[in-house]
Structure 1
Amino acid sequence: MTPSSVSIRELASVRTRHPEAVAEAAARRARRPLVDASERLMIVAADHPARGALGVGADELAMANRAELLERLVLALSRPGVDGVLGTADILEDLLLLGALEHKVVLGSMNRGGLAGASFELDDRFTGQRAEDIARLRFDAGKLLLRIDYDDPGSLRTLYAAARAVDDMAAHRLPVFVEPFLSTRVDGKLTNDLSGPAVARSVAIAAGLGGTSAYTWLKLPVTEDPDDMAWVCETSTLPVVLLGGEVHGDQEGTYEKWRKALSLPTVRGLVVGRSLLYPADGDVGAAVDTAVGLL
């Protein structure tokens, strides 16, 4: 925490009386390189709420309490080996005011328009942070979600917007983490295809976005057959981080899948949210420490 940081209880008051405090905190934040000599990254993700995705397991509103979410994030960021956080503007600015982002990597979440469960979910407009916002606040990178359904025209609009976002980030010399999926609707619900061939195709599509891939990273799921990850990651030479997703009961099995995938040549780390911030046993510190240990 910085000497000028505020408490969670004071956030609304500071935002009411002194909105300039966000820019001031961003200007004085101590930064660090995206990666150190190990080329490893451990990022905690918290950009789900802005897409209306508040559920964890059976609790559909687990992430609805912002004070509790912030407490969990501050704890996670304080653990040794945690490099930074991914979030939307509101969450990142709360963390700025709390002084929790000193010497951390900060990733701004860029497109949140594809609200969970909406008929327009695949027309995922860029309603979050723009490249210019990420640069202005001295954040370190951005992240965009790219779900593609060959039967949904909204995917093409998202694909085009994603390509322009890649261009904008490269123009600012800012890394952008692209999270691609091939998706389809099953009984009206959007489902991501995690088979090896589907993930490989999504990698090929994402890697080719924009006028340059110099600043592009990939944020990928572990395939449903973990043994497929080795050849899937050979689809591109871009650096890869693994996303966490929801864990359905088998936390140890998930850790083992991450451990195996982290040994692959292009894989550089983890970007994990709900499974670390809301572990089944409630011990955020232990869950984060275990994930860090995999690196």
Structure 2
Amino acid sequence: MVDVARVARIRRQDPGAIAEAWRARSRRPLLPDDGRLLIVAADHMARASFGVRDDPTAMLSRPDVLQRLATALKHPGVDGVLGTADVLEDLLLAGLLEDKIVIGSMNRGGLQGASFELDDRGTAYTSTDIAARGLDGGKMLLRICLDDPGTVRTMAECARFVSELAQIELMAMIEPFWSVRTQGQVRNLLDPESVMRAAQVVAGLGGTSAYTWLKLPVVDQMRRVLESTTLPVLLLGGDPSGDSEHAYQRWADALLAPTAAGLVVGRALLYPPDGDVASAVERAAEMVHG
């Protein structure tokens, strides 16, 4: 589905073709008629997060990742993709981003398992990059750890990104977590109160929240969580472990809330337990847009 050899050849022989392809890309309005979005996430690898279930190297094969993304993006119910420049440019050269929403991942500095994992500084797209390439918004990860003095630096940087994106009237998607470090391991707290605390903190970042969207995990009492904000919320698909049917039901229930604006799903769609990417995408698309 994706001619990886052609993509590699263009990168090697004609790198300027990437900028030209961004200029020529056909774009669409952010929201479809139903006001909801289904976005596929593909920015895990730049944060050294490669594992799926019991396979710690599942996402190390770029041809395999691209074929899975192609299957998802060819579905008309998938509105777009979230990723870092390398992944998005591969998809761009493969012709898979026409009339799709494209969100650039901005801060991937907190590498999984590193001593500096909570230092989520900007290492990927800047607001200027996003505007110059005609992307539709930028995404940030913000893990709030009260025992880590570096958290406030990430907060300040995310606040700047929010303000910069608002100035050019583009979505600022923030994925917040209330986090702790236990025996050197970072753990995100997924109880309702912790998710609400994190959402309230990041909603106040920047000089305006007019273009701020939240990306929140689906947890217990999700209706209550979603009542803690008036900002649009995209539900986080999460890791594809556990009971898939239970996960789908939780998504469906949460999508009934007024602030729920859709799903951002990565590995749960790209690496379903039965390996059938097309069926997983079809089901998610029906849930969001059906």
Distance in 2 of aligned mates of 1:137 and 1:80: 23
Distance in 2 of aligned mates of 1:102 and 1:233: 32
- CA offset digits 1:112-149 (Å, max 9, x no partner): 00000111111111001011111111111110000011
8 Å CA contact 1:120, 1:154 repeated in 2: no
- How far did residue 36 of structure 1 move? 1.6
8 Å CA contact 2:240, 2:273 repeated in 1: no
Question: What residue is the counterpart of 1:291 in the other structure?
Answer: 284
Q: How does 1:20-99 map to 2 (within 5 A)?
A: 20-99=16-95
Residue 186 of structure 2, aligned match among 173, 184, 190: 190
8 Å CA contact 2:52, 2:240 repeated in 1: no
Distance in 2 of aligned mates of 1:260 and 1:242: 11
Aligned to 2:227, what secondary structure does the other structure show? helix
Question: What residue is the counterpart of 1:166 in the other structure?
Answer: 162
Residue 262 of structure 1, aligned match among 255, 260, 263: 255
Question: What residue is the counterpart of 1:277 in the other structure?
Answer: 270
Residue 197 of structure 2, aligned match among 188, 198, 201: 201
Aligned to 2:123, what secondary structure does the other structure show? coil
- How far did residue 7 of structure 1 move? 2.2
- How far did residue 232 of structure 1 move? 1.4
Q: Which runs of 5+ in 2 are unaligned?
A: none
8 Å CA contact 1:245, 1:274 repeated in 2: yes
Question: What residue is the counterpart of 1:239 in the other structure?
Answer: 232
Aligned to 2:245, what secondary structure does the other structure show? helix
Q: Which runs of 5+ in 1 are unaligned?
A: none
Distance in 1 of aligned mates of 2:76 and 2:19: 27
Distance in 1 of aligned mates of 2:9 and 2:33: 41
Distance in 1 of aligned mates of 2:260 and 2:277: 24
Identity %: 56
Distance in 2 of aligned mates of 1:24 and 1:117: 37
Distance in 2 of aligned mates of 1:175 and 1:293: 24
Question: What residue is the counterpart of 1:100 in the other structure?
Answer: 96
8 Å CA contact 1:140, 1:175 repeated in 2: yes
Aligned to 1:33, what secondary structure does the other structure show? coil
Residue 130 of structure 1, aligned match among 108, 117, 126: 126
- CA offset digits 1:71-101 (Å, max 9, x no partner): 1101100013100000000000111100000
Distance in 2 of aligned mates of 1:127 and 1:60: 23
- How far did residue 8 of structure 1 move? 1.4
Question: What residue is the counterpart of 2:246 in the other structure?
Answer: 253
Q: Which moved more, 1:168-177 or 1:102-111?
A: 168-177
- How far did residue 217 of structure 1 move? 0.4
Counting matched residue pairs gives 288
- How far did residue 187 of structure 1 move? 2.7
Aligned to 2:114, what secondary structure does the other structure show? coil
8 Å CA contact 1:110, 1:142 repeated in 2: yes
